[in-house]
Structures are given as structure tokens and as C-alpha cells.
Amino acid sequence: MTEPIARPTALAHVRVTVTDIARSKAFYQQLLGVDPVIDFSDQVDEPGVTEDRERFYGGCVFPLGDQVFGLRPVAPSGQRFDPDTVGLDHVSFTLGSVDELHQAAARLDAAGIEHGEVTELGDAGMTILSVQDPDDINLEFAARK
């Protein structure tokens, strides 16, 4: 094996592209139970904001432990996510236990949000729960056995 270019110890952040920042922000606030720590979504309709890195392209950023998860509102209205093209397949969020997965499934039910079953992935050593965001991006909650 050759010497790696870098040795990352974790992901710093993930940012997904969305079509409707207000709808997606509300969904993720409910899903994650936190408000954004950075939020320029109220400026998304101002000229130049979706090209302005300093204003996070009119998006927002949610805290997740030592990492952050961001939304970037630059996708055309009506466009849908496709996991079978080059790029993102899904985003997986870690939960502390399988019990927390079952609790999340119950909360999704109570909120009227469709989701998959809590599923053990056998040899992978984890159990998952899948849900689609408003742009059909596959999200997964995962817990190690």
C-alpha cells in the first residue's frame, strides 16, 4: 500500500442540495430536533445569495456532535434526487442504540412521516432505519449492535 495523501479521522460536514430551503429546513429541524447554527435561508431570494459562499449559498447548517450537516438551496424546483447517478447515494446518521432506532420510528409515525422498517444488516454489524427527505434523498439512522 502506498502512503496516503491524508489521514482523515472523521467527516467534517456533509451538505446536500435541495430545491426548497424552507421546506427542507423545517423537515430537518423536525427530524434532527435541533435548529441550524448557521442560517442564511431567509436571504435565499436576494440577488447573488445562491452563489455567495460567505452566506452559505442561502442555506443553513445543523449541528451533529462534532460534525455539521448543511442544506444548499440551488437545485431547480421539481428536480428529484437520484441515488443511481454519480454523487451521493445516501446520508447515514449514527444513533446510540437499536432502541433509539425504534423510538425514532415511533416518532416518525407520530409525525406522519413515511419510513422503512428497523432492519438488521447481519454481517455489517449494524441496524438501520431509512426515511426520505422532501427531495427524496435517502436518509438512514444507524446503530451498531
Mean pLDDT per 10-residue segment, the chain (145 residues)? 81 92 97 96 95 95 94 91 89 93 95 96 92 95 90
Q: What is the CATH number of domain 90-145?
A: 3.10.180.10
pLDDT at 59: 96
pLDDT at 105: 96
pLDDT at 9: 78
Kindly report, as residue ranges, where domains of CATH 3.30.720.120 are found in the chain: 11-75
pLDDT at 5: 81
Topology, domain 11-75: 3.30.720
- Give backbone dihedrals phi and psi of 83, rounded to 5 degrees, phi first: -70, -10
Could you tell me if 110 and 119 are in contact, meaning their C-beta atoms sit under 8 angstroms apart?
no
pLDDT at 54: 95
Kindly report, as residue ranges, where domains of CATH 3.10.180.10 are found in the chain: 90-145
Nearest residue to 16 (alpha-carbon basis) of 67, 69, 83: 69
pLDDT at 69: 95
CA 76 to each of CA 5, 7, 24, 90, 135: distance values in angstroms, whole numbers, following the listed order: 36, 36, 14, 20, 11
pTM tops 0.85: yes
